[in-house]
Amino acid sequence: MSHPKTAVELARAIASRQISVPEVAEEFLSKQARAAELGVFLNVDADAVRAEATAIQAKLDSGWTSPLAGVPVAVKDNIAVEGQPLTCASKILEGYIPPYSASVTNQLRDAGCLIAGKTNLDEFAMGSSTETSAYQLSRNPWDLTRSPGGSSGGSAAAVAGGITPLSLGSDTGGSIRQPAALTGIVGFKPTYGRVSRYGLVAFASSLDQIGPFGTTVEDVAHLTAAISGHCGHDSTSLPDAKIDISDLKGGSLKGKRFAVPREMMEEGLEDGVRQVVEAAFETLRREGVEIVPVSVPSVKQAVTIYYIIAPAEASSNLGRFDGVRYGPRIEGDGHAGSSASTRGQLFGREVKLRIMTGTYVLSAGYYDAYYRRAQQVRTVMADEFAALHRDFDAVISPTSPTVAFTIGSLSEDPMALKVLDSCTIPANMGGFPAISLNAGLADGLPVGLQLMGPVMGDERILQLAYTVEQVMPKVQLPFG
């Protein structure tokens, strides 16, 4: 197997017997030194990978087919794979082995994908740099001194570094799209409810959504199709959730109208990012797209409402980690003391700060001023975007206002890291689909272009992204 090769090409090579699934597995396992250099995995079970590869090959030999059969997929370590450790990159889950698999894990297996290993993340997916992992740093394949973004940094580095063709991440405020942008690949957050969250460790339940990473929109579309669908284990799963990608390649840009929120082209946007994004707009205009600047005032409050709503939900969701049911326990004075000792010593700094923030904004006297008000602004934001989605074919913006930053450079100023998510948060607040694809390079580093569409408009946004991708500059990924 020689790189670069897309997931679709690899699946085709497997189907035509040019390469066997066990050979694909061995090729993947041979890349572990490079994976370690990039800080991709928290766990790889080589025996399980080999056993799964043999089983998939046997199915293929019996005549079974599937578009992604035999393709390795790395899975973010906040998604349950039965029998494999699940840490959420936290000391509080050290040693925990889930007794069940997430619905997406079962769907990957149904599609014949090879589950490659569990990838590094910011602790409980809280962060934008993968620096808050309790176990290791992840590094950007374009420049090892730089962050791959976060929180799904390990999953992004797996694909951008050529370790696996596909991976899964989770996106609460941009945690798939931002690392995709910073590593020059494609990342997609589907409509909330079209991919089951059963078996995803909850961070902020009303915002979290599992989604795919790949090197092309086509690869990402195939993985999205494989993991979408209604799930009876998830009460927020939508009834008609299956995503149909049969029209993926049938789109055209001629006559399309894209809205650009001015507020996403303002605060903190680096000059290099602006130049690449404006060049992308110019390319789209030449293809017949009308680019219309619009104003979406609530975008300025995106980061604020995220830092109220997400910690509020997290403070409730993380209440289950008390040293009683799973993970290690640190003894203290009685039940309450033991729980406080366990949580105080085993949660990392960022997680504790967010639990404190969430507990405060939900506490008596502050609920109306912060939490309720943030939810009202969320309504305003969702309505503003819904109106744009009715009037335009897509809303388009930079994915991240900066290119990949140096590891450690933003840790002294927590708010500086947090504002990196201002362009991505609205899609989580409104539940609508959004995709990031590469638009070119600024000073040798990738710049992401984000396309957003209406709730349940996943097929439309994937088709548009595929069509846009065809006219964007082709960038060679830094495979080692």
Nearer to other proteins, 140 or 422 (CB): 422
Nearer to other proteins, 6 or 375 (CB): 375
Smallest distance, Å, CB 48 to other proteins?
17
Cα distances (Å, whole numbers) of residue 306 to 7, 19, 98, 190, 354: 34, 46, 29, 18, 11
Spatial contact of 299 and 263, defined as CB atoms under 8 Å apart: yes
Smallest distance, Å, CB 136 to other proteins?
23
Smallest distance, Å, CB 64 to other proteins?
27
> Facing residues of 43 across strands?
118
With CA atoms as reference, report the closest residue to 118 among 149, 72, 162, 161: 72
Question: Phi/psi at 386 (nearest 5 deg)?
Answer: -60, -40
For residue 6, with 0-12 CB atoms within 10 Å meaning exposed, 13-18 middle and 19 or more buried, which class applies? middle
Smallest distance, Å, CB 280 to other proteins?
28
DSSP secondary structure string, 214-252? Answer: ESSHHHHHHHHHHHBS--TT-TT--TT-PPP-TTTT---
Nearer to other proteins, 32 or 304 (CB): 304
Q: Where are the beta strands (DSSP E) in 72-175?
A: 72-76, 114-119, 166-171
Smallest distance, Å, CB 431 to other proteins?
3
Question: Phi/psi at 355 (nearest 5 deg)?
Answer: -65, -40
Smallest distance, Å, CB 355 to other proteins?
5
Alpha carbons 287 and 20: distance in angstroms, whole number: 41
Nearer to other proteins, 43 or 283 (CB): 43
Q: Which residue has the tokens 């602790």?
A: 123
Nearer to other proteins, 286 or 349 (CB): 349
Nearer to other proteins, 95 or 408 (CB): 95
Alpha carbons 42 and 77: distance in angstroms, whole number: 7
Smallest distance, Å, CB 159 to other proteins?
26
Spatial contact of 315 and 355, defined as CB atoms under 8 Å apart: yes
Residue type, 20: S
- Residues 6 or more apart whose CB falls under 8 angstroms from that of 294 comprise 259, 260, 261, 262, 388
For the chain, state the CA radius of gyration: 21
Please give the positions annotated as active site: 76, 151, 175
Nearer to other proteins, 28 or 371 (CB): 371
Q: Label the pairing between strands 394-398 and 257-261.
A: parallel
